[in-house]
Amino acid sequence: MNQDLLPKLFRLGEKALVLDCASLSSSSSKLEIQRKIWHVADICRTSGDFEDIVPGNNNLTLFFKDGKKIPLWINQVNQVWPRKLVQEKPGRLIKIPVQYGGEYGPDLNFVAQYNKLEPQEVIAIHTSTQYSVLFLGFQPGFPYLDGLDKRLFTPRLATPRLSIPAGSVGIGGEQTGIYPAQSPGGWQLIGRSTVNLFDNDRTKPSLLSPGDTVQFIDIESLDEVEEAKSEVPR
């Protein structure tokens, strides 16, 4: 097997193993790589060898109960990774209504100016794309999305805000996302939604899962967002 087509594997301390897939991005799509990461993670979850299994963006970290098991799993990963996935991980299309600009998107004009666009063009481009959920992280339910149009790439704020309202939709570098809860953050805020991405009272707390597809919908007011929420799966 061509070693260039395998993830780089390295130990993290005595009882952890990291699969680093960053070097594979030139030969495979981000979503294809993530699907293989999910596949390996699912296989690991059937074993009792692990304390924790943590998928990330282009990586997977495996925490072992016994570090002596690591060589066995290095061999296992190298055998499993090249196999073609017969069935892709199923996902849903989730449409998230957003009110863009104004007090809810204070950085919309900056994103437009930075990219030599009109604010309405930013909204049109941002809503025309369907984004793949690669993984969840940073805060419970926060989706890392792949697919932002290059015309909207915008650097993060030089000084992060101390508080960003829940539901804020932002752009940070080459990614876009939505904040599930109020928190500090450095992304450029272009809009806001009242869709609840994380709720402990739900059977499945996170609205989104890796493998889902997200599309943002332009809504004129947050009242319309509330009406549109009835169409969002719960």
- Domains defined along the chain, listed by start: 3-80 (3.30.1360.40), 93-231 (2.40.100.10)
User: Which residues are within 8 A (CB) of 145 and not within 5 positions of it... i.e. 6 or more apart?
Assistant: 131, 132, 133, 134, 175, 176, 177, 214
Sequence-distant (6+) residues with CB within 8 A of 26 are none
- Report whether 21 contacts 37 (CB < 8 A): yes
Chain segment 111-142, per-residue pLDDT in tens: 999 999 999 999 999 999 999 988 887 788 88
What rounded mean pLDDT belongs to the chain? 88
Q: Which residues contact 6 (CB under 8 A, 6 or more apart)?
A: 78, 81, 82
Q: How far apart are CA 228 and CA 118, in angstroms?
A: 26
**DSSP alpha helix (H) spans, the chain:** 30-45, 70-80, 108-114, 119-128, 222-228
Determine the Cα–Cα distance for residues 145 and 136; give it in Å rounded to an integer.
Answer: 9
| Strand partners of residue 9 | 19
Q: Which are the contacts of 141, defined by CB distance < 8 A and separation ≥ 6?
A: 180, 181, 197, 198, 205, 206, 207, 208
Q: What is the largest CA-CA distance in the chain?
A: 58
Q: Which amino acid is at 33?
A: I
Q: By percentage, how much of the chain surpasses pLDDT 90? A: 62
| Of 213, 163, 210, residue with least CA distance to 185 | 163
pTM over 0.95: no
Contact predicate 195/167, CB 8 Å: yes
Residue 4 has pLDDT above 90, yes or no: no
State the Cα–Cα distance between residues 210 and 12, nearest whole angstrom.
25
Specify the pLDDT at position 89.
57
User: How high is the pLDDT of residue 225?
Assistant: 54
Q: What is the pLDDT of residues 40-78, one digit of tens each?
A: 998 999 999 999 998 888 899 999 999 999 999 999 999
Strand partners, 62: 17, 53
> Residue 218: exposed, middle, or buried by beta-carbon count in 10 A (0-12, 13-18, 19+)?
middle
